[in-house]
Amino acid sequence: MLVSTTSAAAAPPAPGRARLPRAVLRPELWRYSTRLAPWTLISTCILLGAAWAARTHLDATNERSVLAVLSSIALCAVFDDDAAAVTNTTPTPRWARRLPRAAVPVAALATAWALIVVMVAARRTGPAELTPWWAMTLEWSTVASSQLAVGAIAARRPGSFGSIAPGLLVALVWLTVEGVPMLHRHLHPVREHSMTWVGLLALTMVTIAAAWHEGPWHHRAGTSTSRAMHASPAADQRS
């Protein structure tokens, strides 16, 4: 009977089903991710978007497209972590660490973007090009996901933290698409090219998932850590 109890104590927990969701739902992880968010850069992007909206009144679709670009640049820096050399070796998988890092800034910027659009529309008195909300949301989500994708890729490279150059490059690409008629007509209006935008959104999400993927070495390290943690009580019982 004693041997059976010791073996049960020494067995590591089943991976995947219990541990991974529990790691994502821990309040400590979300509070830590909130503190690490680049709030200065996020506030700057919101102010830039608000200034652009106040100046242009967002009467044209391309003006709303520029707002989507300006209000999402900060997402390229949400994965910056000076302690990455330490946190990357923890048993918690990369996707569980990075999901809160992305969700908090995305929620803040998406809320700010929606409020800016609503407030400008409420104060508008002249004619404007009408765009359905689903089309504007699809465009903003795609642009924001592209910033997350380039940030996730840059975060895999050592020494790349603290630079928003990749995000500025992505923003320049989107602004170029808006300014070049040959490229613009293949994407706008969004409601007539919705499948193209859905495809771009899917591509960015796949890129983020690939950047969050970890090699087998991390799983082996996590398993070894878990076994070491559970082997200690078993050793105490045997002694």
Give the integer Cα–Cα distance in Å for 106 and 109.
Answer: 5
User: Which residue has better confidence, 129 or 116?
Assistant: 116
CB 97 within 8 A of CB 28: no
Higher pLDDT, 115 or 23: 115
Give the count of beta carbons closer than 10 Å to the beta carbon of residue 59.
14
pLDDT category at 154 given cuts 50, 70, 90 is: confident
- Condensed to tens digits (0 to 9), the pLDDT of residues 43-52 reads 999 999 999 9
Q: Which residue has the higher pLDDT, 222 or 107?
A: 107
With 90 as the cut, is the pLDDT of residue 176 above it? yes
How many angstroms separate the CA atoms of 76 and 144, rounded?
Answer: 9
> What pLDDT, in 10s, does the model give residues 56-91?
999 899 999 999 999 999 999 998 765 554 455 555
Share of the chain above pLDDT 90, in %: 48
Q: Is the pLDDT of residue 120 over 70?
A: yes
Average pLDDT for 123-150: 91
Judge contact between 187 and 197, C-beta under 8 A.
yes
- Measuring CA to CA, how many Å separate 157 from each of 69, 151, 165, 213? 24, 10, 14, 14
Q: Measure Cα distances from 29 to 90, 94, 179, 212, 216 in Å.
A: 13, 12, 41, 17, 24
**210 pLDDT above the threshold of 70:** yes
Residue 226 confidence (pLDDT) above 70: no
Task: Please give the share of the chain, as a percent, with pLDDT higher than 70.
Answer: 71
**Mean pLDDT value across the chain:** 79
Q: Please answer whether residues 221 and 214 qualify as being in contact, where contact means their C-beta atoms are separated by less than 8 angstroms.
A: no
Q: Token digits for 137?
A: 């949301």
pLDDT at 215 > cutoff 70: no
What tokens appear for 113 in the block? 């973007």
Question: Which of the four pLDDT bands, split at 50, 70 and 90, describes residue 6?
Answer: very low
Q: How many domains does the chain have?
A: 1
Buried b (16+ CB within 10 A) or exposed e, 8-20: eebebeeeeeebe
pLDDT number for residue 32: 81
Of 167, 66, 172, 73, the closest CA to residue 117 belongs to 66
How confident is the model over 1-21, as a mean pLDDT? 45
Question: What pLDDT is stored for residue 232 in this prediction?
Answer: 42
> Which pTM value belongs to this model?
0.77
Mean pLDDT for 154-183 is 84
Q: Among positive and negative, which fits the CA dihedral 40, 45, 49, 52?
A: positive
Range of the domain at 201: 2-238
**Reduced to 3 states, what is the DSSP secondary structure of residue 15?**
coil
pLDDT grade for 214, boundaries at 50, 70 and 90? low
- Exposed/middle/buried for residue 182 (C-beta within 10 Å: 0-12, 13-18, 19+): exposed
